[in-house]
Amino acid sequence: MSATDASGQAATASDVPRPGEVRLEVVTVPVADVDRAKAFYEKVGWRLDIDFEPAEGVRIVQFTPPGSGCSISFGKGITPAEPGSFQGSELAVSDIDATREDLIGRGVEVSELYHLDGGPKPGPDPERRSYQTFASFADPDGNKWQLQEIKERLPGR
């Protein structure tokens, strides 16, 4: 890829990792049907960055969730992982209720809210503390995503 993203905005010096920094850039999600996965991630509202075939038998599709510094990629000939084996990666959201409703409005099946209290318990965290309320959804291959509500970051992040 070039220094220009799909939106046409040029990368800036602040986009480049500084010495000593290691940034998670792209995570590969294994899928069985590339076009079906592409339609799903378009439906959830993630930005399509690329869809190209750099070599015979290889196709790479990349999407970025809104506001994320990390993207996902999937395609043909890019991973030996089994479709559906990507499980439980967390997507940080500030308002889990609104995000859940948005996804449901887009036709995505999203779990009810749950919180952690010695194990998963139904409903949101009673105190609505950051990092404690979750919901989940899966893509058509069964790759699972977990929404995590974060209203305030812990120090050091």
Contacts of 106 (CB under 8 A, 6+ apart): 43, 44, 45
145 and 121 together in one domain: yes
pLDDT at 14: 60
Asked whether residue 15 is domain-assigned, the answer is no
Mean pLDDT of 40-62: 97
pLDDT one-digit tens code per residue, 59-115: 999 999 999 999 999 999 999 999 999 998 999 999 999 999 999 999 999 999 999
**Contact at 8 Å (CB) between 114 and 134?**
yes
Statement: residue 13 has pLDDT above 70:
no
Two tokens, residue 42: 């378009």
Count how many domains the chain has. Answer: 2
Statement: residue 2 has pLDDT above 50:
no
Statement: residue 8 has pLDDT above 50:
no
Statement: residue 5 has pLDDT above 70:
no
Q: Name the E strands within 1-157.
A: 26-28, 47-55, 58-64, 71-76, 89-93, 114-116, 120-122, 133-138, 144-149
**Residue 41 sits in a domain of what CATH number?**
3.10.180.10
Q: How far apart are CA 113 and CA 126, in angstroms?
A: 11
Question: Strands 133-138 and 114-116: what pairing?
Answer: antiparallel
145 and 93 together in one domain: yes
Asked whether residue 81 is domain-assigned, the answer is no
Q: Find the range with the poorest average confidence among 40-49, 77-86, 147-156.
A: 147-156
Statement: residue 3 has pLDDT above 50:
no
